[in-house]
Homo-oligomer: A and B are copies of this chain.
Amino acid sequence: MTPMTPARSFPLSDSPQLGLRERKKIKTRTAIRDATYALIREQGYEATTVEQIAERAEVSPSTVFRYFPTKEDIVLTDEYDPILVRELNERPADEPWTESLRHVMRKAIAVGLAEDPEATRIRSQLMLQVPAVRARMLESMSVTGRMLGEAVAERSGRSGDSLEVRVYTMSLIGGLTEVSLYWAENDFQDDFAELFERALTVIERGLPTKNP
């Protein structure tokens, strides 16, 4: 659920019994991300260079690239996909899986919006304005799609590699991405959850013809 989940790494205040090394890694990771968001807010995406990001995050440019393969990824990457899938697997097994999906997505959206609304908004905005970001976003959505596909497959008694499952999940993802775009285009004025419900309805039931 890349577009509406927050950017932060994990639990961040409580870092359990991880070694100092691991904790530092998490810290630089979020430092880089925070620096990036700040700079983008100030100057926009294109004007922000990786060198500037490195400077503000107080690391070397090399390190930035070690943590994020591309500049777009700094903005886009999150760690919520596995959580999302786990959540889906925990739904009661006899629930129709479209309904499960609905629940899980709804929850993901709620959490994302609550936990880091700014990041969520910045992401959607960039998705709208910067083609490279949008492209990469779709790409990463397709990864999410594959994970969902696995879960869906299990439930629906098909293989995750089957054409049917893949087409279905990707069409789902494609549709939902469009919701984010629509939301951003209208300056975040609509209620995201409601847009999402409408979208799900369309995807499930198709587009009723108004003039037959």
Contacts and interface: CB of A to CB of B under 8 A. Distances in A.
Interface of A: 96-98, 131, 134-136, 138-139, 142, 152, 155-158, 163-168, 170-179, 181-182, 195, 198-199, 202-204, 206-207, 209-212
A171 B156 CA distance: 20
Copies of this chain assembled into the complex: 2
Helix, strand, loop or mixed for chain A's interface?
Answer: helix
A203 B207 CA distance: 11
A156 B211 contact: yes
Contacts of A139: 131, 134-135, 138
A206 to B, nearest CB: 6
A-B pairs, 4 with minimum CB distance: A174-B174, A171-B175, A157-B210, A135-B135
Contacts of A135: 135-136, 138-139
Contacts of A152: 207
Contact of A178 (B97, B166, B181, B209): B166
